[in-house]
Chains A and B, each alone.
Chain A
Amino acid sequence: MLQSPSFRAGLRDSVLILFAVGGFGLAYGVLAVSAGFSPWLATFSSIIIVSGAAQFTMIGLLSAGTVPVLIAVTGLGLRHLPMSASLANMIGPQPLSRRLRLAWILVDETFGLTVRAVGAGVEDVVTYKSAADLMLYSGWIIGTAVGAWFGGAIDPEAIGIGVLFSLLFLGLAAPMIRTRRDWIVAAAAVIATIISILLVPAAWQITVAAVAASLVGMVMDE
């Protein structure tokens, strides 16, 4: 696997994500400890949850209680349903253990890279995604651990980590915009986001806006 061109391509393409996610993980580690988690629990949460959106939401709503956290995390998690269906289409029939592993790190960043790689004709989708997952998982855990243990000396706000993370997603979306329908879906996504921010509870904004924009694309011809 390590010698596979697809594996090397996955590693190469996800270098940027390693640093971006590492920075984001660092911010999570800092915030989790400041919210009351021990450094060990902060790191453990990144090892088993592996979801920036869910983990930041969990920390952000920690003081509000368990129920708001669970509702919000479920709302955010719904976006994984179409992602897992898309990934299932891309990888075809696979052993259960492999599907479990791929689902474990079904995150926006490496999913985006994988979609892009499939569009570019990558040879082995599973190997490509595994390499990208490895990079992301490493960055996320190391970043969290550094932030949790040494976070007092680092200010994620000062480096604008949130903006850099948003730009990463803009950069992942850009190559997907090819047809007239893609342009309309992208524009609909921006409009739906603004409306969601104004009208929808924070935990549901991303899911509602993404589904609304996708419905616009669904009713359009290519």
Chain B
Amino acid sequence: MTFVTFINQFISGATYGLVLFMVALGLALIFGVMSIVNLAHGSLYMLGAFFGYFIWSALRDMHFSFWLSVLLAGLVVAGAGFILEFLLRPLYRRGHTDQILFTYAFMYIIADLVKMFWGGRYYTLPRPPGLEGSLTVAGIMLPTYNLFIIGVSLLIGALLWFLLARTKLGKIIRAAVFDREMVGILGIRLPWIFALVFGIGAFVAGAAGLLAAPMGSIGVGMDVEIIVPVFVVCIIGGMGSFLGALISSFIIGEVYAFGILVLPQMAMAFMFLVVIVILIIRPQGLFGRS
């Protein structure tokens, strides 16, 4: 392997990993705060891609149409997230198994709704203006859009961390993790906090859906394609941990990118091997508390 291929694979692995990270953030946030396992999170990502694509095709002649579409797709999906959260409410007091099954049912529902409205076709859209080309660093061409995705994903992660760790709202959210009842007694409307947290997670997933779209294609089935590795990331990082999610999404992305070089067809298998090994050594995940 030459140095150039190495760098290229490294960047493509980091990009894939950080797309996973964007989706995993929402999942980790929802799990960390509400202790809800949302299996339909990948479906929200898919919804974001589809909504975003059709908003974008309506606005395509405008300036900044792509960025506006990303924002609107995030908002629409946040709305879908509110609905899902509302339906999930009666299950908060039940175990994880029931929540997993309930959100699993929504994977079926959302997948078929998408198929119903937009059909089984694949859609592609170009990279947004200004980010089509590549950057040349020390003689190596680096695709600008990939670098951009890495940056955005890290930025979103940092913003969410800042929100949780440094703001009053974040304090309330963290307090709710420790003692829901007490927070409620203090006059804070917990259902609103939960809806907000779910909405933020859904917004990021929806926006990520469109952000990742120029690097691949939009189609039914992308919900399963994303949720499996994202769950893998959350579990091996330690469920609910941001740092764990970041590191494990990076690991998974790189394993996938370099796995393709070694045995193109078995790249997914390498990923599952990593999970199996990590979970056997540390059943609670890299950064999880047992």
Please indicate whether A and B come from the same complex rather than being unrelated chains.
Answer: no
